[in-house]
């Protein structure tokens, strides 16, 4: 579904992403972990084309999309739920959802899908005509995900979706992500909550200072004491029989 090869991103003298490579298979959940400033958000933005890659390649569904503008990548099945949700608080809930379908011309299908989103998220349906500013943080995150779904992605990238949410809402969020994945949506998840991210991901990449420093299955990563101490929340017990993580 997604192949990123040797991607580099610079902001002036700052080398934010350094030769990063990763892949996401069709229907797979992949996590990207690391401390603040590791380059995770810049990686997602470069994959969507929101920031230019200095070098490297991006392929989506076996098509080379390197150099494509974000709108073309979106139309080819890639969507991003950005950090901080980026809800337009001056617009209504429904107007925010319609922004996700901006490039579509099938109005009847869009209306059906919005009705499905209201069924999935009843709180949004009850507030459809109200400004998005009245929503709680959790409701705004659901709105951001619903907006992304209206682009009909085959792969959805989510940047810190649990940021600022209560533990109960985090649990509900990850239950939703599991269901979306069971329905066939591939996910690339940047997340500070490593416990929850590794619980849903089939594989994970760990970034440090713009580089991918390790990758593997959750069992493989949690079996590496150095990775646990540095990036994955300390002294968690590794699952029995786990293999060593691979270090590029």
The answer to whether position 168 is within a domain reads: yes
CATH of the domain at 164: 3.40.50.300
The answer as to whether 27 is a domain residue is yes
Report the pLDDT value the prediction gives residue 246, as an integer from 0 to 100. Answer: 42
Interval 135-142 mean pLDDT:
89
For the chain, give the percent of residues with pLDDT over 70: 92
What's the Cα-to-Cα distance from 246 to each of 26, 30, 39, 47, 213, rounded to whole Å?
A: 22, 15, 20, 23, 9
Query: What is the C-alpha separation between 185 and 155, in angstroms, rounded?
Result: 6
Average pLDDT over residues 102-122: 89
| More confident site: 229 or 238 | 229
CB count within 10 Å of CB 157 equals 25
What integer pLDDT is reported at residue 233 of this predicted model? 59
Distance CA 148, CA 176 (A): 14
Residue 41 pairs in a beta bridge with none
The answer to whether residue 245 is domain-embedded is: no
146-155 pLDDT, tens digit per residue, is 999 998 999 9
**Domain ranges, residue 134:** 2-230
In angstroms, how far is CA 95 from the centroid of its own chain? 23
Question: With DSSP H G I counted as helix, E B as strand and the rest as coil, what are the percentages for the chain, rounded to 5?
Answer: 35, 25, 40
In the three-class reduction of DSSP (H, G, I as helix; E, B as strand; rest coil), residue 166 is classed as coil
CB 45 within 8 A of CB 51: yes
CA angle 242, 247, 248 (to 5 degrees): 145
d(CA 97, CA 92): 9
The residues near 75 (Cβ < 8 Å, ≥ 6 apart) are 103
In a domain, 175, yes or no: yes
242 within some domain: no
- Specify the pLDDT at position 237: 40
Integer Rg of the chain from CA:
18
Q: Does residue 241 lie within any of the structural domains?
A: no
Which tens digits make up the pLDDT trace of 181-222?
999 999 999 998 888 999 999 999 999 999 999 999 999 988
Total domain count, the chain: 1
CA pair distance 42, 50, nearest whole angstrom = 9
Residues 138-159 have a mean pLDDT of: 92
Does a structural domain hold residue 77? yes
The mean pLDDT value for 94-122 works out to 90
Q: Are 18 and 8 in contact (CB under 8 A)?
A: yes
Which is nearest to 125 in space by CA: 136, 114, 133, 134? 114
Using pLDDT thresholds of 50, 70 and 90, give the confidence band for residue 35.
Answer: confident
The whole-number pLDDT of residue 2 equals 97
Are 110 and 101 a contacting pair, CB within 8 Å? yes
Q: Does some domain include residue 40? A: yes
């Amino acid at each position: 579904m997604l192949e990123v090869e040797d991607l580099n991103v610079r902001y002036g003298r700052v080398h934010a992403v350094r030769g990063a490579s990763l892949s996401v298979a069709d229907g797979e959940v992949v996590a990207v972990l690391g401390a603040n400033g590791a380059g995770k958000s810049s990686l997602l933005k470069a994959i969507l084309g929101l920031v230019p890659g200095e070098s490297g390649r991006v392929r989506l569904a076996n098509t080379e999309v390197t150099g494509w503008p974000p709108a073309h990548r979106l139309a080819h099945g890639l969507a991003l739920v950005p950090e901080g949700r980026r809800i337009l608080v001056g617009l209504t809930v429904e107007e925010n959802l319609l922004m996700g379908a901006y490039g579509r011309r099938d109005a009847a299908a869009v209306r059906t899908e919005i009705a499905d989103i209201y069924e999935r998220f009843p709180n949004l349906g009850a507030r459809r005509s109200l400004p998005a500013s009245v929503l709680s943080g959790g409701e705004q995150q659901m709105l951001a995900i619903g907006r992304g779904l209206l682009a009909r992605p085959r792969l959805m990238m989510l940047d810190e979706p649990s940021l600022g949410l209560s533990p109960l809402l985090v649990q509900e969020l990850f239950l939703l992500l599991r269901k979306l994945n069971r329905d066939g949506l591939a996910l690339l998840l940047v997340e500070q909550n490593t416990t929850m991210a590794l619980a849903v991901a089939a594989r994970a990449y760990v970034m440090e200072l713009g580089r991918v420093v390790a990758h593997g299955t959750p069992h493989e990563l949690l079996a590496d004491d150095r990775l646990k101490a540095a990036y994955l929340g300390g002294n968690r017990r590794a699952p029995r029989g786990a293999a060593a993580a691979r270090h590029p």
